[in-house]
Amino acid sequence: MSAKTSFKRKALACVLIVTQELAPMAPALAAPPTGSLDLADEPLFTTTTVKPNVMFTLDNSGSMDWQFAPMYVNGEQNRNCFTSSQYNKLFYDPTQTYLPPVLHDGSRMPNASFSGAWVDGYRTPDGNLNLNNGVRAPRSWSSSGGSMGDLSGGSAAHYMVYSGAGTPDPSICYADGSYTTVWMNTQSAAAQQNYANWFSYYRTRLLAMKTSAGEAFRVVDSEYRVGLHTINNPHRGVGFQDGSFIPVDTFSGNHRQQWYNSFYNQQTAGGTPLRAALERVGEYFRVGAAPVNNIPDPIQFSCQQNYHILSTDGQWNGASAVGASKTNVDGTVIPNRADLVSALRM
């Protein structure tokens, strides 16, 4: 018998044995399921969860130091409407509770003091003001709120409430007589505490962004890789106040603490080059290019999800994108949408 014939017989014997072993199972395999079928929603060979990359970009332009929003409020600093949250959405709103900022470990910064409220709760050495009698009088608040000179005076802290006829249109600054002054030195201790927290942690656009974004990232855990990037001076890396870049990494431990510390440390510097900032992050995810040296490629797996969150107070200016960011993925040119531009100006 040839070796070839012997191999064929052995192979046939194996097939017959396997067929005989499986025969009793055939009816069960052919029968339709009698109950619900629980299918895995992930590949059975997957052993590691791929953590998404999230880059958070902070607008650290000069206008983030302003203490009004939206843009149409600009120019009304000497009118009563400026200190009414019904018109100036950034001003103190008594219906809201202003919590101190959250820290990397979930604890919170201390409450501000009404008799010595920090001008900037994130930079306490910048000084404080007595809100009982040490702030500017109504109708004299500055558009910029980043220094003692913009805020100090001989009046008590206050806010305005619309008291005219009907429901106020939030886009209209009514005559001064349509507003009533609420003096905070006559309010309860709880109300004064709330106002002091607003003053120290929410009063300007940058303060509000730090406090609100810090609160949002409180629930982001080690299942994500998070980074930080500023639209101005990202080449500074870590440890600077006028710009920063922190590559994405697992959002826990020292990295989480570094992210919060650097984010809360940022101050305003420069214009609003949003398009260039978007391009930088796009290139970072596309080819690993970063504004600082020796940064590892953020892409670990081909199926990894990548997100970019851009926080800004308005329309771009300054540097534009120079590469692929001028077009969509399909090669079509990104249009100048009048409706989007109009919304950004509001």
- At 24-64, the pLDDT tens digits run 444 444 455 556 666 666 565 555 689 999 999 999 999 99
Domain with CATH 3.40.50 in the chain: 53-63+209-344
The answer on pLDDT for 229 being more than 90 is yes
CATH code, 53-63+209-344? 3.40.50
- At 161-208, the pLDDT tens digits run 999 999 999 999 999 999 999 999 999 999 999 999 999 999 999 999
The answer on pLDDT for 296 being more than 70 is yes
**Residue 304 in contact with residue 333, Cβ under 8 Å?**
no
Q: d(Cα 262, Cα 217) in Å, to the nearest integer? A: 14
The fraction of the chain above a pLDDT of 70, given in percent, is 77
**Residue 276 in contact with residue 291, Cβ under 8 Å?**
no
CB within 8 Å of 64: residues ≥ 6 apart: 204, 205, 206, 209, 268, 313
Angle at 228 between CA 222 and CA 234, to 5 degrees: 155
Task: Indicate the pTM of the whole model.
Answer: 0.80
CB within 8 Å of 13: residues ≥ 6 apart: none
Q: d(Cα 79, Cα 75) in Å, to the nearest integer? A: 9
Q: d(Cα 325, Cα 309) in Å, to the nearest integer? A: 16
* Banded model confidence at residue 236, pLDDT cuts 50, 70, 90: confident
Average per-residue pLDDT in the chain?
84
- At 218-227, the pLDDT tens digits run 999 999 999 9
The answer on pLDDT for 20 being more than 90 is no
Instruction: For the chain, list the strands marked E by DSSP.
Output: 53-58, 117-118, 128-129, 158-162, 179-183, 225-230, 245-250, 306-311
- At 84-124, the pLDDT tens digits run 999 999 999 999 999 999 999 999 999 999 999 999 999 99
